[in-house]
A and B are shown apart, each in its own frame.
Chain A
Amino acid sequence: MRAKKRKDLIIIVMFLLPAIVIFACFIAYPVGDTIFLSFRKWKGIYGASREWVGISNFTKVLADKDFWKSLLNSFYFMIGGFVILMPLSFGLALIITSKIKGAKLMKTAYFMPVMLGTTAVALMWVYILNPSYGAVNEILRFVGLDKVTKDWLSTPTLNIWCVILVNEWMFAGYNMLIFAAGLVSIPGDLYEAAQLDGCTGWKKIRYISIPLSKESFKIFSILCVTGCLKAFDIVWAMTKGGPNRSSEMPATLLYNEAFTYKNFGKSSAIGVILLVLGIVLSLGMNQIFRRKE
């Protein structure tokens, strides 16, 4: 028995080793570096002193109302993720794994925004949302809703929601793939048995598809929460955090502090706060899923 245990241990170490080595070099080391810098003042010049400043970077960040506003924005991102993105991607996954006609075309189409890339997608939506000639306002005017027309990307709060909707539109296909992988592995005879019991349509989804996709939902939740905290590309491409810093995200602030103002200490402090928040939220997420078991 002990020999088997030792053999098992060797297997565990051998199988985990490549992942851990790569991880240590490319993730753990940068994270360690970020933690190290977050307590220091550094202008980003090699060889220059990295003066210890205690927790002053953290107090500065936490006293900055732009930072809190950016956290609120990423909180909006999370709400959007769970309320819109999750049901949407799951729905799309159900569609492409069902026996619907044209599923092949559909699943290619649904993933298209991710393949087109942020540059093209952002440019297009900025155009669609343009207040005077953009399609959205044109349609609203056409149906007589002139009062509802807005300057979508320049009105604070409204603009971050527009970016969120574009984000959900773009990544619905991405998360659809994650859900679809879980759905296809649900044995067909389960559905058949359910059908014999008179379970059809919505009930099949409610009592089989959703419970058996629990693992996919858990992975989605973790990826969503962490992804929302570090969201950068789509915001940067659509609004650059503006106008007047109204759509700033924690990651855009972090970027500006480091690469525009060269305050690498403060930037790292934002990074550390994001990491801590991410860990806390993911562990919380794990607890929720465990309780449901």
Chain B
Amino acid sequence: MTKRKAGKFFIYLFAIFWTIMTLFPLFITFLCSVKDNSGITLGMFKWPEVFRWSNYADAIEKAGILRAVVNSMFVSLISTVFIIVIGMFAGYVLARKKFRFRGIVYSIFLIGVMVPVHCTIIPISGMATAVNGKNSFWFLILVYIAFNLSQAIFLFSGYLQGIDKELDEAAIIDGCNDFQLLTKILFPVSAPIISTEAILAFVYGYSELIFAMILMTDASKYTVSRAMLTFQGGYNVNLGPIFACIIITIVPMVVLYIAFHEKVQDGMLTGAVKG
């Protein structure tokens, strides 16, 4: 019994230690967001001598970070919805249907998590020019969907494979077709994995830089990482406002994260799905 208690104690200790390890940077980011360059480079962990709230004003006025947050939210939320829906449909087929090219289709999707992003910039940007997709949120959303689809399909098909097939059979006896089975039964049951992938896809879209930079030139359509570049000049970087931007942009992310992850925990209640 004492052994168990000791084990529990160490688990708690580690859990708290890791919480501090990961929350600490948030605290430092905040401190840096009210300092100037020399305050950051010469004493990152020191308490600021003067609180430069003007960094926040700079972030909002010069970088237009609030507008960028709205843009990023729009792009990442829409792409997340599509990733979930398209990914679930494909994942369902791969998990539930037997067909000849199943293995090949699966392997092809595998390429999606492998291709180095710098190989794709030029062809995708060329495509954007061809279809007039530069400065279009929709094209950017399509790109984000593409780059998250593989991971989503893996997660979904893996999860669906774990769900008892009796559930399907019962539904089919009740007269459900594939579409109804997927949307009415399997979607709710898959809440944990859907919420998880939603978080991952959202964070990706929200903070992606390369495509947002290559494809968007219109300043009113900047997303957050692109807007933050405002303070990185050639010969002088203005670090304070960059950290201020990070603090501003992280708020909606944290809120959504907590909301989504509640859904993951809800999965515990649905229970009895793993066969």
- Note whether A and B contact each other (Cβ less than 8 A): yes
The interface of chain A, by Cβ under 8 A from chain B, is 8-9, 11-12, 15-16, 18-20, 22-23, 25-31, 33-34, 44, 91-92, 95, 97, 100, 102, 104-117, 119-121, 123-124, 127, 135, 169, 172-174, 177-178, 180-182, 184-190, 200-202, 212, 215-216, 218-219, 222-223, 226-227, 229-230, 232, 250-251, 254-255, 258-259, 264, 267-268, 271, 274-275, 278-279, 282-283
Contact of B158 among A25, A104, A215, A251 (CB under 8 A): A215
Quick one: CB contact mask for B232-275 with A, threshold 8 Å, 1 for yes? Answer: 00000001001100100010011001100100110110111110
Q: Tell me which residues from 10 to 34 in chain B have a Cβ below 8 Å from any Cβ of chain A.
A: 11-12, 14-15, 18-19, 21-23, 25-26, 28-29
Contact of A254 among B107, B116, B228 (CB under 8 A): B116
Q: Which residue of B lies closest to A276 (CB)?
A: B114
Chain B contact patch, size range? 35 or more
Give Cα distance in the complex from A169 to B261, angstroms.
20
Q: Is B108 an interface residue (CB 8 A)?
A: yes
Q: Is the CB of B272 within 8 A of A27?
A: no
> How far is the CB of B36 from the nearest CB of chain A, in Å?
15
Q: Is the CB of B123 within 8 A of A258?
A: no
Q: Is B173 an interface residue (CB 8 A)?
A: no
Give Cα distance in the complex from A182 to B147, angstroms.
23
Q: Is B73 an interface residue (CB 8 A)?
A: no
17 additional contacts, CB 8 Å, given A181-B159, A181-B195, A184-B267? A9-B99, A11-B93, A12-B99, A16-B89, A23-B146, A26-B127, A30-B124, A110-B18, A113-B22, A177-B196, A180-B196, A185-B267, A187-B271, A188-B271, A229-B116, A254-B116, A267-B119
Q: Is the CB of A116 within 8 A of B112?
A: no
6 contacts between A and B (CB under 8 A): A104-B258, A106-B18, A110-B22, A112-B23, A201-B4, A274-B114
Give Cα distance in the complex from A124 to B25, angstroms.
7
Given contacts A33-B123, A110-B22, A275-B115, contact A185 B273 (CB under 8 A): yes
Quick one: CB contact mask for B194-221 with A, threshold 8 Å, 1 for yes? Answer: 0110011001000100000000000000
Q: Is the CB of A112 within 8 A of B22?
A: yes
Q: Is B192 an interface residue (CB 8 A)?
A: yes
Question: Chain B CB within 10 Å — which of A110, A177, A282 has the most?
Answer: A177
Give Cα distance in the complex from A174 to B204, angstroms.
11
> How far is the CB of B6 from the nearest CB of chain A, in Å?
11
Q: Is the CB of B257 within 8 A of A115?
A: yes
Q: Is B143 an interface residue (CB 8 A)?
A: yes
> How far is the CB of B194 from the nearest CB of chain A, in Å?
9
> How far is the CB of A114 from the nearest CB of chain B, in Å?
6
Question: Chain A CB within 10 Å — which of B118, B161, B258 has the most?
Answer: B118
**Hey, which chain B residues are within 8 Å of A12, CB to CB?**
93, 97, 99
Q: Is B155 an interface residue (CB 8 A)?
A: yes
**Hey, which chain B residues are within 8 Å of A105, CB to CB?**
19
Given contacts A115-B257, A188-B271, contact A26 B87 (CB under 8 A): no
Q: Is B227 an interface residue (CB 8 A)?
A: no
Q: Tell me which residues from 54 to 109 in chain B have a Cβ below 8 Å from any Cβ of chain A.
A: 86-87, 89-90, 92-93, 97, 99, 105, 107-109
Give Cα distance in the complex from A57 to B51, angstroms.
54
Give Cα distance in the complex from A97 to B203, angstroms.
21
Give Cα distance in the complex from A18 to B143, angstroms.
13
Give Cα distance in the complex from A252 to B227, angstroms.
24
Q: Is the CB of B120 within 8 A of A27?
A: yes
Q: Is the CB of A219 within 8 A of B158?
A: yes
Give Cα distance in the complex from A9 to B93, angstroms.
10
**Hey, which chain A residues are within 8 Å of B115, CB to CB?**
27, 30-31, 34, 230, 271, 275
Question: Chain B CB within 10 Å — which of A120, A201, A258, A278 has the most?
Answer: A120
Q: Is the CB of A26 within 8 A of B11?
A: no
6 closest Cβ contacts across the A-B interface?
A26-B146, A278-B114, A30-B120, A19-B90, A215-B158, A181-B196
> How far is the CB of B10 from the nearest CB of chain A, in Å?
11
